[in-house]
Amino acid sequence: MPRTPTAEALAEAVLRGERRALARLITRVENRTTDAQDALATLHPHTGHAYVVGVTGAPGTGKSTLVNVLTRALRERGQTVGIIAVDPTSPFSGGAVLGDRIRMGDLVGDRGVFIRSMANRGSLGGLAATTGDVARVLDAAGFDVVVIETVGAGQSEVEIAGTAHTTLVVEAPGLGDDVQAIKAGILEIADVLVVNKADRPGVEHTVRALQAMLSLGHRLRTVGHHGQRMAVEETSAPPEYDFWDVPIVQTVAISGEGIAELVDALERHRAYLRQSGDWHARERARVTAELRARLQETLWERLLEERGAEALSAAVEQVLARELAPQQAVRALLNGR
C-alpha cells in the first residue's frame, strides 16, 4: 500500500480485515474528508450485519467499566466487538481518554476487539452523523457488535441513540440527583435500564424510582398507542412480541456481577426487535432521519454557495425593516431574487 493510500484503498483493505487500515480510515471519516465519503459509499453494501448497542448515562455512572466487562462477556460468547467512546472526557474521570484505555487495557491485543475514542468536536448534529459513519465502518469491517458510549448530557445521546438498535441507559445510586435521567428525558430512549454500582448504598431506592418512572411511561405509551384513554384498561393480552417491557438490570461493573443478566437482556431485546419488525422499523426511521438531515445540510450549503452569504444577510435586513415577511424572504432566496 502506498504511504498515503486513498480512502478508497483503505476501504478495500478494511474489507480484507486489515486493522491498521481501519484506524486510518476512521480518522478520515472523523475529519470528514471528501474521499472518505467515497470510501463510505464503497463500504455501504457491506453494512447491515452489526448489532449496534448504545450505552449512555450521566458522567461517572460506570459506562466505560461496564462496556469493558460487557465486551469480555461478548467475546466469551464468540462475538467480535467494535467500541466507539464519544467524548469520554468528563470531570468525573478527568481526561478519561487515557483512563478508558487503561481500563480497557486487557482488551488490547485481542483482534476481535477494536476501540476508538472520539472527541466531541463540532456541532452535535455533526457528531451524531460522524458517529453513525464510524459505526458503519466497523459494521463493514465485520464486527458482530458495535458499542457506542456517550456521556448523557442532553441532545447528543438522544441523537446517537437513533444510531443504535438497543440503547442501554446507565444509572448509579448516590449521584446526588435521585434519577438524573428523568430530567434529560433519557428514559424515553432506554431499551434496557442498568443500575450500575449496585454494591453502593441506595441502590434499592434508585431501582424503585426507575420502576415508578417506567410504569408511568408504560401507561402513557399504551394510551398513545391506542389513541384513547380507554385502552389502558384493555384486558386482552397483546401477542408476546408486541410489547417490550424495559428491564432494570443491576450490575457491579468492577466485579462483573450482573453482566450475564445484562447480556441476556440484550439478546432478548435483539430477538424482540427481529420478531416484532422493530429492527427494520428502526433502521427505516434512522435512514429517513439521516437523509433528511443530510439533505437539509446539502441544500443549505448549496443555497449559500449559489446566492452568497450577502444575499442571506440582505434578506435578514429586509425582514427586520418589515419590507418582507420571512415567508417572502425565503421565497425570494429560493427564486434567486
Ligand X SMILES: Nc1nc2c(ncn2[C@@H]2O[C@H](COP(=O)(O)OP(=O)(O)OP(=O)(O)O)[C@@H](O)[C@H]2O)c(=O)[nH]1
Distance of CA 240 to the CA centre of its chain: 27
| Side chain identity at residue 125, one-letter code | G
Burial label for 201, CB within 10 Å (0-12, 13-18, 19+), is exposed
Query: Taking CB under 5 A as the rule, does residue 54 contact Mg ion?
Result: no
Name the binder of 130 from Mg ion, ligand X, none, CB < 5-8 A by kind.
none
Print the binding letters for residues 203-242 with ligand X: x by CB under 6 A, - otherwise: ----------------------------------------
Alpha helices in the chain (DSSP H): 7-15, 19-31, 34-43, 63-76, 96-103, 124-140, 155-161, 180-184, 203-226, 259-276, 278-320, 326-335
Which listed residue (35, 47, 60, 153) binds ligand X by CB under 6 A? 60
Stretch that binds ligand X, among 16-24, 35-43, 92-100, 323-331 (CB under 6 A): 92-100
Pick from 93, 117, 156, 167 the residue near ligand X by CB under 6 A: 93
Q: Please, what is the minimum distance in Å from the beta carbon of residue 11 to ligand X?
A: 30
List 40, 151, 195, 203, residue binding ligand X (CB under 6 A): 151
Cβ atoms 150, 160 nearer than 8 A: yes
Grid coordinates standing for 333?
Answer: 432566496
Total residues contacting ligand X by CB under 6 A comes to 20
- Pick the closer one to ligand X by CB: 168 or 246: 168
Helix (H, G, I), strand (E, B) or coil at 143: coil
> Which of residues 11, 21, 22, 64 is near Mg ion by CB under 5 A?
64
Neighbours of 159 (CB within 10 A): 20
Residue 302 CA to residue 333 CA, distance in Å, equals: 12
Q: Using CB under 6 A, which residues numbered 248 to 267 contact ligand X? A: 252-254
User: Total binding residues for Mg ion by CB under 5 A?
Assistant: 3
* Partner whose binding site includes residue 125, from ligand X, Mg ion, none (CB under 5 to 8 Å by kind): none
Report the residue count for the chain.
Answer: 337
Taking the least distance from each CB to Mg ion, the nearer of 61 and 163 is 61
Query: Which part of the chain contacts ligand X (CB under 6 A), choosing from 63-71, 226-234, 271-279, 320-328?
Result: 63-71
CB closer to Mg ion, 24 vs 197: 197
Select 100 or 133, whichever has its Cβ closest to ligand X: 100
| Binder of ligand X out of 12, 47, 59, 286 (CB under 6 A) | 59
Is residue 150 within a helix (H) or strand (E), and if so which, with residue range? strand 145-151
- Which residues lie closer than 8 Å to 90 by C-beta, 6 or more apart? 59, 60, 96, 151
In angstroms, the Cα distances linking 223 to 63, 214, 217, 255, 321 are: 33, 14, 10, 41, 47
Q: Binding to ligand X by residue 88, rule CB under 6 A?
A: yes
193 belongs to the binding site for ligand X (CB under 6 A): no
Q: Which is nearer to ligand X, 253 or 273 (CB)?
A: 253
Cell reading at 278:
422493530
Q: Rule CB under 6 A: is residue 196 a binding residue for ligand X?
A: yes
Considering the rule CB under 5 A, would residue 89 count as an interface residue with Mg ion?
no
142 or 247, CB closer to ligand X?
A: 247
What is the distance between the alpha carbons of residues 150 and 63, in angstroms, rounded to a whole number? Answer: 8
C-beta of 55: minimal distance to ligand X in Å? 9
Which helix (H) or strand (E) segment holds residue 114: the answer is strand 113-118
Residue type, 286: R
Task: Give the residues lining the site for Mg ion (CB under 5 A).
Answer: 63-64, 88
Task: Give the residues lining the site for ligand X (CB under 6 A).
Answer: 59-65, 88, 90, 92-93, 96, 151, 196-197, 199-200, 252-254
